[in-house]
Structure 1
């Protein structure tokens, strides 16, 4: 899939105007059902349009109004495209050094989701996500968990924008998500020393890698499993695999710094 953003400029980023734009799209779909195909094609061509026009996110700090339209900040738009470029052929490892609350984990999840959602059947991707504890990988009651983010995103999409034939009871199981329309898969595992060993994936997402006690063992275990490893973490001092990757490996680095967040 080509990574570009040809349609995102249509979507307002001011929250009131954004919500009005979304309402306008929904009214148009109600008036002309064939417009769904136009929007589907736009979402398939442009991940930023997809998220900014249809996505919702969750913020516990906004009680009681925790559901918010997902409107990417400029640094998040650039970051999402960089993550997707790392996944595309030729793939490469990417280290994401982030401040807290900059949305990096969300962006990694949504990069996987966009490719899972819109890839053609021929060459549909298989992804793997991992974190240090199963609770942070897949827990329906924990917004910090990776699958929770994808589930929340799906729960607030229009039904016509979900893959044809998708049935949550059938295609969303513990640590597993299948797209019945193209065969794409997202799986999850706890990042133990045997994480991804003997596996083969389009890309692997390693969340909060700096605090993983098995980080040095995971590196060789994942080396033959994929050409793209997304090492995502807030820095946690030296003496860990994430620190050494950041400073001693020559890996490409993407930074999400708090000063970039409005």
Structure 2
């Protein structure tokens, strides 16, 4: 069984099997910045992770998975107790997958395949030929999975660097004029920075940040009311309305992995 503990050191690139997985129960874990040659699929049936890339911050709620192509530097941080699952693939097994990180909805079949592989012995694909039959199922489900947007592009202007480093210690962001004063910038200059480097106004960016902060807190705190109060909403209903506006569903349904209401064609991770 490929079950690891918080103290174990694991390097997927030194193992011979072309596909392998690990499972763990982790709490408040920080991988620090790293990369590996293999592609990685992160998943948690319970708990929440944040992933920091060079240019963006991603949040991985329960019942979603994150595709990380090989060679991309990333840092994974776990919030609260997390049922951590990670699958590592040789790039040749999924040549048509995105070359960018992508958050995907994990339907019941994809979730079950991830769980099965995560508990395999590390050499299962080599020693058990029938195990290889699961590989095309995994890859096909990844191609068909719905893309989700729980990411935030980070401005790279050096004048914002210290402020960005401190973001995870806050539950609310200042208004544009207050932040500009804190950074010793003109409000118009700050507006241009966000628009140029993120494609969003500061107001839009801060609202997306607030949503991601809410998701992280929902994984740690006992109730929607606790999160609403922590984030400074006037009432539970105001928080739920805000959450529904951005996700199409309620906080409780979202954290259970229930699909949001969608209209029109869905977007998938692989191919046309």
TM-score (norm 1): 0.26
Structure with the greater alpha carbon radius of gyration: 2
TM-score (norm 2): 0.25
